[in-house]
Amino acid sequence: MKKVSLLAPGPTPVPSRTLLAMAQPLIHHRSADFLEIFGKVRQGLKKVFQTENEVLTFCSSGTGAMESSVANLLSPGDKAIAIRGGKFGERWTEILKAYGCQPVNLDVPWGQAVKPADVAKLLADDPSIKAVYVQALETSTGVAHPIEELAKVTAKTDAVLVVDAVSALLAYDIPVDKWGLDVVISGSQKAMMLPPGLGFVSIGPKALKLMESSKLPKFYFSWAKELKNQTQNKGAFTSPVTLFMGLLDIFDYIDELGMQNIFAETGLKSKAFKAAMAALGLTLYSKECPSQALTAVEAPAGVDAQAVVKWLKEKYGIFIAGGQDQAKGKIFRVAHMGHISEFDTLQGISAIEMALAGLGYKFEMGAGVAAAQKVFGEAI
């Protein structure tokens, strides 16, 4: 099998030690040994989320966890704000409509962050709105929304704030309890450095209260059912034993590295990559609040961004991501989160230079790599 390098914003590389941890013999998901593992996972997730809230684990992608936040908080006909600044913000609207709720769409130009004052006005104009759904990081644009400020807005109302942090959690600091975030969602395949398959949901007191009045249908994604079981260190249904074993190793790895160090290293890789793109004469797609978890870059005039993505994949086995919907063909996206090293970043920059040159873009070859090396060197 051809060697591949993952620099796309998910799935990201898995540490070899974690792959070995997941290669252990399977145990039964109802055994005493697994109940012990489940208990350790619960405590580890609270540490990563920086919360005393219960963090539920579902065998699903992050989208499953997103769907659960609609099914367990709302009732048919309820209104909820969907902040739509990209492809994943639009997903909130799609889920709300699927459950018969009324999305109040707050459209934000792609590449820009939502203004908390706009959310405050919508809530003031219509106190019947039950929830505000937003991305911590809009993965399709590279923009980090101001969720701390949004939490201050919703704290003054009855509405709960639901944050999709699938790409953001562990890539940069999101202290759930300190910021008063009601619901925070994440997944295993991004900064958590695991294969896809686990969805996580941190549920705060305000959300638990709203959950009690929800009348939407739910079965597999029932928070009440999972809360009853998971507080006893077991899942309501079959748990993905192998991924739980991997998660335990990731928690050990996080403890060894230190969470603040992980945030700093992710930021350094982001700074180096962004400096490289500037040295190549390229501009960021995120015009404000660019995230350090990934970088969205505008392709130069005359170059199809999808051709850059294809070049890296076919010639070098390096996976980055292209744009979606209105950004397709215009941008490419490169991740800095998780188990991606400085040298992985330099390799990606070099490959992008080779692709751009091959596609006819004129620039000083090596300028991007040199700019990134300078950033890394100054941090030694």
Strand locations in the chain, DSSP E? 5-6, 54-59, 79-84, 102-107, 131-135, 137-138, 143-144, 160-164, 183-187, 198-203, 294-298, 318-319, 321-322, 331-335
Q: What percent of the chain has pLDDT over 70?
A: 99
The domain spans of the chain are: 5-9+259-378, 16-255
Binding residues: 333
Query: Residue range 349-369: average pLDDT?
Result: 98
**pLDDT category of residue 263 using cuts at 50, 70 and 90:** very high
**pLDDT category of residue 2 using cuts at 50, 70 and 90:** low
Name residue 130's amino acid. Answer: K
Task: List, in sequence order, every residue forming a beta bridge with 37; answer none if it has no partner.
Answer: none
Distance of CA 192 to the CA centre of its chain: 9
- Tell me the pLDDT of the chain averaged across its residues: 97
The number of beta carbons lying within 10 Å of the beta carbon of residue 351 is 21
pLDDT digit string, tens, across residues 169-206: 999 999 999 999 999 999 999 999 999 999 999 999 99
Q: What percent of the chain has pLDDT over 90?
A: 98
Cβ contacts of 59 within 8 Å, gap of 6 or more: 197, 198, 199, 235, 237, 238, 239, 240, 243
CATH class of the region 16-255: alpha beta
In the structure, how many helices (H) and strands (E) does the chain have?
14, 14
**pLDDT category of residue 159 using cuts at 50, 70 and 90:** very high
Note whether 94 and 135 are within 8 A (CB): no
Query: Residue range 28-51: average pLDDT?
Result: 97
Note whether 75 and 214 are within 8 A (CB): yes
Q: In this predicted structure, what is the pLDDT of residue 346?
A: 98
Q: In this predicted structure, what is the pLDDT of residue 3?
A: 78
Query: Residue range 204-214: average pLDDT?
Result: 98
Binding residues for substrate: 333
Instruction: Give the pTM.
Output: 0.97
How far CA 5 is from CA of 22, 271, 313, in Å, comes to: 20, 20, 9
Burial class (CB in 10 A: 0-12, 13-18, 19+), 15: middle
CATH architecture of the domain with residue range 5-9+259-378? Alpha-Beta Complex (3.90)
> Strand 102-107's sheet: what is its strand order?
54-59, 198-203, 183-187, 160-164, 131-135, 79-84, 102-107
**pLDDT category of residue 4 using cuts at 50, 70 and 90:** confident
Tokens of 117: 């004052």
The number of beta carbons lying within 10 Å of the beta carbon of residue 46 is 17
Cβ contacts of 149 within 8 Å, gap of 6 or more: 116
The CA-based angle 309-315-318, given to 5 degrees, is: 55
Please choose, from the candidates 167, 109, 161, 108, the residue with its C-alpha nearest in 3D space to the C-alpha of residue 136. Answer: 167
**pLDDT category of residue 1 using cuts at 50, 70 and 90:** low
